[in-house]
Amino acid sequence: MTPIVIAVGSARKPKLAAVHEALQEIAPFLLADRKFEIAAVEVASGVAHTPTSREELMQGARQRAEALQLIARREGNAWDYFVGLEGGLDSIEENGLRRVFLESWAFVSDGTTGHFGRSGAIELPEALVREVLGRGTELSVAIDAFAEESGIRDAQGAWGVLSRDLITRRDSFRIALVAAFAPFYNRRLYRNSEGKSAVAG
């Protein structure tokens, strides 16, 4: 039986591990006993290294998936799903204060329709906010300096540093992916809800 191929717009280990874990969880609902393969292709997001708004995060995730679709058409790759992942910051004003959160976003397309999913969020300390938003330092560089380590982005990520490894970068992307895939592995519910009122009359 031909495997289902999921193209991912990144070759970074935490992202690929998140895709693998998410697919293992949703496989009984999505794949109908078929095996899956992951095709990792590094593509540009088209947004800043550290997105600083929810809109930019969503745009980056979508554009990675769209870049994969262009590659598939150009090279004739029979990929079934296209996955874009983007991590970065979102700022809100709450009770007169600016609060900045680290978030992970996913966009999943089957080539016809696409859907977003988001992780939870963890608040950044003010010193890190000043470094990234005030001085323009890339988050991966800033978190290495703050944690006095190197290569954090390809390990536990800023998520792990901020949560004492209770939530890693891989964990955050896994949650976003399970959410983004929901309209595909839970098609009946999503299709049945089209055109229906949320309140019975």
Instruction: Tell me if 59 is assigned to some domain.
Output: yes
Q: What is the dihedral of CA 186, 37, 170, 57, to 10 degrees?
A: -70
Does the structure show a pLDDT above 70 at 85? yes
Instruction: Tell me if 199 is assigned to some domain.
Output: no
Question: 95 and 118 in contact (C-beta within 8 Å)?
Answer: no
| pLDDT at residue 199, rounded to an integer | 43
Q: Percent of the chain at pLDDT above 90? A: 83
Instruction: Tell me if 146 is assigned to some domain.
Output: yes
Query: What are 145's two structure tokens?
Result: 């300096």
Question: 47 and 133 in contact (C-beta within 8 Å)?
Answer: no
> Rounded to an integer, what distance in angstroms lies between the CA atom of residue 141 and that of residue 129?
13
Instruction: Tell me if 200 is assigned to some domain.
Output: no
Range(s) of the domain holding residue 22 = 4-187
Instruction: Tell me if 135 is assigned to some domain.
Output: yes
What's the CATH number where 41 sits? 3.90.950.10
Instruction: Tell me if 192 is assigned to some domain.
Output: no
Instruction: Tell me if 162 is assigned to some domain.
Output: yes
Instruction: Tell me if 101 is assigned to some domain.
Output: yes
Domain count, the chain: 1
> Rounded to an integer, what distance in angstroms lies between the CA atom of residue 184 and that of residue 147?
39
Query: Per-residue pLDDT tens for 117-150?
Result: 999 999 999 999 999 999 999 999 999 998 888 8
| pLDDT at residue 193, rounded to an integer | 59
